[in-house]
Amino acid sequence: MTKGCPSRRPFLLPCINITNMLHKNIEWTIEYYSEDVRLEIAVMPVGIRAAYVRLTEMLQEFGLDLRMPHSRAMGGGLFELRPRGKEGIARVFYCTMVGRRIVVLHSFSKKTQETPKRELVIARKRQKEVCGS
């Protein structure tokens, strides 16, 4: 039984989520601010990197509809992916562009409860460079 279908109709076809069908036809593309940003992610611990890959697959499919606990809006058009592995947690900042494009701006391994201001400043500076605002 598909979530959201009435349980009193066990012999009917499952409900179809039209929103998900629409998203599957037009996926978002992911780009990197620089090769260095891509390499920062490539050298993350294997568990965190695996979580990142799963999250980017979801991000490509759902784009701005991806929400907590996977992604969080940081304000001003900046978002963070929230990969977590047995080795710890990381944050990957990104913004969106016209044409269903996602630009990965910055990443770091998280060691404290709060996002360090320095990491947020880097991401916002790069966002301004990419978006021109």
CATH number for 61: 3.30.2310.20
Number of domains in the chain: 1
Question: Domain limits at 99?
Answer: 27-131
Within-domain flag for 50: yes
Within-domain flag for 17: no
Within-domain flag for 18: no
pLDDT (tens digit per residue) in 63-122: 888 899 999 999 999 999 999 999 999 999 999 998 889 999 999 998 888 888 999 999
Within-domain flag for 21: no
Is this model's pTM higher than 0.75 or not? yes
If we measure between CA atoms, which residue out of 33, 28, 23, 30 comes closest to residue 99? 28
Q: Higher pLDDT residue, 93 or 10?
A: 93
Within-domain flag for 11: no
Within-domain flag for 118: yes
pLDDT over 90 for what percent of the chain?
64
Within-domain flag for 7: no
- CA geometry: angle at 126 spanning 52 and 33, to 5°? 50
